[in-house]
Amino acid sequence: MGEASLVFPADEYRARIARLQAGMAEQGLDALLLTSPADIFYTTGFLTRFWESPARPWFVVVPHAGDPVAVIPSIGADLMGRTWVSDIRTWDAPDPRDDGTSLLADALAQVVAPHGRIGLPMGPETHLRMPLQDFEAVRARLAPRRFVDATACVHRVREVKSEAEIGKIRSSCIIAARAFARVPEFAQAGRPLADVFRDFQIALLSEGADWVSYVAGGAGPDGYGDVISPAGAAPLQRGDVLMLDTGAVRDGYFCDFDRNFAIGPASDTARHAHAALWQATEDALTALRPGMLARDVHHLLSDGLRRRGMTPGGGRLGHGLGITLTEWPSFTPLDESPLRAGMVLTLEPGCLTTGQRIMVHEENIVLRADGPELLSPRAPEDLPEIMP
Amino acid sequence: MGEASLVFPADEYRARIARLQAGMAEQGLDALLLTSPADIFYTTGFLTRFWESPARPWFVVVPHAGDPVAVIPSIGADLMGRTWVSDIRTWDAPDPRDDGTSLLADALAQVVAPHGRIGLPMGPETHLRMPLQDFEAVRARLAPRRFVDATACVHRVREVKSEAEIGKIRSSCIIAARAFARVPEFAQAGRPLADVFRDFQIALLSEGADWVSYVAGGAGPDGYGDVISPAGAAPLQRGDVLMLDTGAVRDGYFCDFDRNFAIGPASDTARHAHAALWQATEDALTALRPGMLARDVHHLLSDGLRRRGMTPGGGRLGHGLGITLTEWPSFTPLDESPLRAGMVLTLEPGCLTTGQRIMVHEENIVLRADGPELLSPRAPEDLPEIMP
């Protein structure tokens, strides 16, 4: 029971499978078919950057009882063999005649009776990571077995993190915080934003990130135009607000938070916006409790901004976090997902400043029974100024 | 016609759309629906790392004539507005009531008559990057319009690179080559492999990579167990062969090649395997021509290894390359894709060494009418030795 696996001991994965199987039983699912990097990593510990290659599909089948079955390209056999999974079936992919579909259909047919139900995540924030034609062939071959949506089944399990997972996310957050502390070393007026992004990634790696899956940001007077762009060649200018946002990864777990810096003395507008964002976050850090809904957090943050004279802007005001950069729920007026103890979340208020510009601020928390515990070391209330 | 866009001038994208539309006309497609990061970047120039967030779907519709339509979350409006695309339709995602499906269905209905055909990549090496339930809702709503597979239509266009694209891939290769040249600075016996991977990523960024989407490798006496694993904590040892493989990105274009290093003096086995891999690659560099099939390259490389006393191993022996780490075709015995001038390809022979170990070697080329042109500066024939 305590044997080795990758990233965590095998017991961590066994507990996850048990929770998934409890959810499957409630929904009357005989098996679960998983195809996404995150779901496969979650159930097996199979951690690789090889997902960058779209050439091959990978499958994990979770039966209603017993251990999962990995149905994977043979190029992954060595690595999967070092996880806790023992039933590993491989084929030489890519195979234009049959790229794992027969092997997958056989694995599912073994654990699902002809009138059984196979759960597959098909809902919000999911993608089927296999060719659609191959899926339709597998579905036809397995009929009268039915594929039904298992998004909720997977999400209700993955959204509540174990202490081991929380520890990993905290580690990523601490690495990013150390890199943010070094931003004044390389973000001076006159430096192209593209070079600042490179140096920030170097700082993240130097501080212990395994890899840096996400860096975005922007810079401009009193704010920036959006929060998802790669860097351009334009140099930072005195008077800019620079924002850097990162999803750095350690042991397969992300952080996702940002920090703002004034290049030279901060303008009153930027200083006031930063304080309002910080204080609205403080409101949420005080008030959040399990049992609230996702939309309540949106209300808390946007109300906090309005009471301080700011107009909310920049999209949703936070989201889940874990083995992908963003997870459900979303802090929007429409998301009625209940918040649960053990959820790891970002608080990400944004507000309009001048012109078409915005400023955003972000922290990472784990929600405990008595409220949020910060995972990202708290930003300073006052917008830091980088002086030449 | 010559207006600005991101990454390339607008004319580059117009030429791509014209080639896609010629393929669509041949296949009788009234529109093309694209959902993947690569296809959206290819047609619009929309370059972002925000794809790391699986929360939102993104769509591009290519009509049978005229410019593409972007149907995207409003968070991307600013960035898409800086591309050459002018018809940009947005919604506030994520929206649990309707996450862009009505907007997408309307966009398709405008350009496809009720009995028309909509092309969608559904075949090998494709994924539908939207929730399957949403796709099924859009498909039902658009009936009797039919969705048909458009994998070949997209692949035949994307696989032949423009000179502008070849220049970008060459730039990425040169950046990686400079980083490989620095490996002896940080890969000494006693250093944990995880630290070597970090330093290699830092070297790639320092040499000009925008980001590093892929690093893999391995180390062991006379070779390594697989080629897709992240690094472990075990230190390099004298007598190891270290292999590092990278997909570093500049302006959205990947390189994908590896280099081997002996830690201390190379063993005869490792030295001989490296020379055989290098010489088999040399055979292919001499013999490859447009009109050959992908399987012919497999034959060339595996035959070259066998003639030098080695057993081929390690999976396919090369593949396409461009805006993803790997593209079609695959150098396997089964792939009958014709090679065309303008294809960017990796030559990636692998062979068994001792025990369960392998060694691999990789170069990147563009196939010209008269044969391959190297994009990666050629590896040395003799396995380099890193001496303390």
* Contact state of B49 with A214 under an 8 Å Cβ cutoff: yes
* Contact state of B75 with A315 under an 8 Å Cβ cutoff: yes
Over residues B318-323, mean pLDDT: 98
| Residue A206 CB burial class (10 angstroms; 0-12, 13-18, ≥19) | middle
Of residues A95, A202, A230, nearest to B202 (C-beta): A202
* Contact state of A131 with B120 under an 8 Å Cβ cutoff: no
Query: Does residue A130 surpass a pLDDT of 90?
Result: yes
Distances (CA, A) of B195 to A2, A165, A249: 28, 23, 15
Strand partners, A89: A71
Greatest alpha-carbon span in chain A: 71
Strand partners, A240: A221
Distances (CA, A) of B231 to A81, A171, A194, B58, B64: 16, 18, 28, 33, 47
Of residues A76, A128, A131, nearest to B132 (C-beta): A128
The domains of chain A are located at: 10-158, 163-386
Query: Does residue A351 surpass a pLDDT of 50?
Result: yes
Over residues A151-159, mean pLDDT: 98
- The answer, as to whether pTM is greater than 0.90, is yes
* Contact state of A197 with B210 under an 8 Å Cβ cutoff: yes
Pairing of β B31-34 and β B117-120: parallel
The per-residue pLDDT for A315 is 82
With beta carbons less than 8 A apart as the criterion, state whether B175 and B182 touch: no
| pLDDT, mean over chain A | 96
* Contact state of A94 with B211 under an 8 Å Cβ cutoff: no
The per-residue pLDDT for A356 is 86
Over residues B40-46, mean pLDDT: 98
Least Cα distance to A366 among A270, A309, A293, A288 occurs for A288
The per-residue pLDDT for A2 is 43
Q: Which residues in A lie closer than 8 A to residue B36 (C-beta atoms)?
A: 54
Characterize A102-137 residue by residue with b for buried, 16 or more Cβ atoms within 10 angstroms of its Cβ, and e for exposed.
Answer: ebbbebbeebbeeebbbbbbbbbbbbbbbbbbbbeb
Query: Does residue B269 surpass a pLDDT of 60?
Result: yes
The per-residue pLDDT for B195 is 97
Under the banding of pLDDT at 50, 70 and 90, the label for residue A53 is: very high
The per-residue pLDDT for B1 is 36
Of residues B52, B129, B212, nearest to A325 (C-beta): B52
Least Cα distance to B71 among B51, B50, B85, B84 occurs for B85
ipTM: 0.97
- Could you tell me which residues come within 8 angstroms of residue B363 by beta carbon, excluding any fewer than 6 positions away? B257, B281, B285, B346, B347, B374, B376, B378, B379
| pLDDT, mean over chain B | 96
The per-residue pLDDT for B3 is 60
Substitution target from A205, A258, A319, A360 for chain B, most B beta carbons within 10 A: A205
Rounded CA-CA distance B202/B187 in Å is 13
Query: Does residue A1 surpass a pLDDT of 70?
Result: no
Query: Does residue B349 surpass a pLDDT of 50?
Result: yes
Q: Which residues in B lie closer than 8 A to residue A54 (C-beta atoms)?
A: 36, 38, 125-127, 324, 326
| Residue B215 CB burial class (10 angstroms; 0-12, 13-18, ≥19) | buried
Q: Is B108 helix (H, G, I), strand (E, B) or coil?
A: helix
The per-residue pLDDT for A4 is 60
Query: Does residue A174 surpass a pLDDT of 60?
Result: yes
Over residues A329-350, mean pLDDT: 98
Per-residue tokens: A376? 């990202």
Over residues A102-118, mean pLDDT: 98
Rounded CA-CA distance A279/A306 in Å is 11
Rounded CA-CA distance A320/A330 in Å is 7
Annotate A54-90 with three-state secondary structure: CCCCCEEEEECCCCCEEEEEHHHHHHHCCCCCCEEEE
Characterize B129-140 residue by residue with b for buried, 16 or more Cβ atoms within 10 angstroms of its Cβ, and e for exposed.
Answer: bbbbbbbebbee
Over residues A86-108, mean pLDDT: 97
Q: How does DSSP assign B155-220, residue by residue?
A: HHHHTS--HHHHHHHHHHHHHHHHHHHTHHHH--TTSBHHHHHHHHHHHHHHTT-SEEEEEEEEEE
Over residues B281-285, mean pLDDT: 98
Query: Does residue B5 surpass a pLDDT of 90?
Result: no
Residue whose token pair is 């070393």:
A185
pLDDT > 70: percent of chain B: 99
Smallest Cα distance from B104 to chain A, Å: 16
Rounded CA-CA distance A226/B61 in Å is 24
Look at the alpha carbons of B328, B224, A38, A86 in this order and tell me if their dihedral is positive or negative.
positive
What fold is seen in the domain B163-386?
Creatine Amidinohydrolase (3.90.230)
Under the banding of pLDDT at 50, 70 and 90, the label for residue A3 is: low
Query: Does residue B281 surpass a pLDDT of 90?
Result: yes
Q: Which CATH number fits domain B10-158: 1.10.3720.10, 3.40.1280.10, 3.40.350.10, 3.30.1330.10?
A: 3.40.350.10
Strand partners, B374: B365
User: Which is higher by pLDDT, A94 or A232?
Assistant: A94
* Contact state of A127 with B128 under an 8 Å Cβ cutoff: yes
The per-residue pLDDT for B119 is 98
Of residues B78, B194, B229, nearest to A48 (C-beta): B229
Name the range with the highest mean pLDDT among A310-319, A363-372, B222-231.
Answer: A363-372
The per-residue pLDDT for B2 is 43
pLDDT tens digits for A287-298?
999 999 999 999
Least Cα distance to B280 among B317, B243, B327, B315 occurs for B317
